[in-house]
Amino acid sequence: MPASSTGRPGSGLLPIKPPRLGPGDQIGIISPAGPVERVELETPIEILESYGYGVQVAPHVYERHKYLAGDDEVRLKDLHAMFRAPEIKAIFCTRGGYGCLRLLDKIHYKLIKENPKIFLGYSDITALLAAFHVRTGLITFHGPLVRELGVKKKTNWDGLLESLSTGVPQQMSLKGTAALIPGKASGPLMGGNMSLVCHLVGTPYMPSLEGCILFLEETGEAPYRLDRMLTHLRLSGQLDRLSGLIAGQFEKCGQNPAIDELLMDMFSHVHYPVVTGFPIGHGSKNMTLPVGLTAELDTDRMTLSIPEPWVR
């Protein structure tokens, strides 16, 4: 798919905002990565319905094929069917795990571009968030997974659903974070799970990071593996022309001071702001970020602002 002549960072295409989520709209649930048990979704579906939305569970959501939620064909079939169905206004993913990379070269991107919808997930879903934006310009959403929607994590969804339904611009407080390198930055938000971002490098589905605010999160990786991934991104030139960097939560990856020390080792020479400890990722708090929308990072005011509506 040819890029537009705008030269816009990220996808190179004009951004496509999905229509907003309205009262009574239908939300489609898919499992494009790892398998999920039926019992894991019972409470989350009830909670989504309590918000006033209809919920349609894709036919193959509960399938299992080794470490995947069904083989590639059925996971792809559910994905395409949800974008094709006119009554579905948003598509939420059940869990991460592994499997999305296997789908990237088989996806019908023209179908997605012609039927833009809210698409939400994180972790392994990072691959789909990036690929959809690169190949179509669709603004996608790095945020909670369906199986995590319970009473204890309901607050992650309150603000998210408000943003997806009202379209009100957002200003997020950086209280509780740390500015390793202070400053101000503006640019499209790009990123997600660090290992997935690394695996996209060298493929047609890796967004251009030039002028972007890159956000990264990870879970269950030893410090030397984080070092390896950051070094790979540095050596491949991905960190050279960023506008800013936001480090999210690094759950079960070692102590936070050690993570910050690694980040300073990698980024001490850069001239853009670096913030650590932002509440995105596998921790208890997982704020949603719109992939592809321009944000403003300001460590003087300790805010991350997204001045335009997320949806249309």
- Span 232-285, pLDDT tens digits: 999 999 999 999 999 999 999 999 999 999 999 999 999 999 999 999 999 989
101-104, Cβ contacts within 8 angstroms, sequence gap of 24 or more: 101/127, 101/196, 101/199, 102/68, 102/72, 103/32, 103/72, 103/75, 103/76, 103/79, 103/127, 103/128, 104/128, 104/131, 104/203, 104/205
Asked if pLDDT for residue 227 goes beyond 90, the answer is yes
In this prediction, residue 3 has a pLDDT band, given cuts at 50, 70 and 90, of very low
Please identify which of the residues 60, 133, 282, 296 carries the catalytic annotation: 282
Query: What value does the mean pLDDT take over residues 109-125?
Result: 98
Percent of the chain scoring above 70 in pLDDT = 96
- Looking at 142, 163, 217, 218, which residue is catalytic? 217
Look up 217 and say whether it is catalytic.
Answer: yes
pLDDT at 104 over 60: yes
Whole-angstrom Cα distance, residue 203 to residue 190? Answer: 16
All structural domains of the chain, each given as residue ranges with its CATH number in brackets, are: 26-166 (3.40.50.10740), 170-306 (3.50.30.60)
Q: Which one is catalytic: 31, 123, 195, 208?
A: 123
Residue 13: pLDDT band with limits 50, 70, 90: confident
Please tell me the pTM assigned to this model.
Answer: 0.95
* Average pLDDT value for the chain: 93
pLDDT at 152: 55
In this prediction, residue 8 has a pLDDT band, given cuts at 50, 70 and 90, of low
- Catalytic annotation present for 282: yes
pLDDT by residue (tens digit) across 274-289? 999 999 999 989 999 9
Collapsing DSSP states into helix, strand and coil, what is residue 261? helix
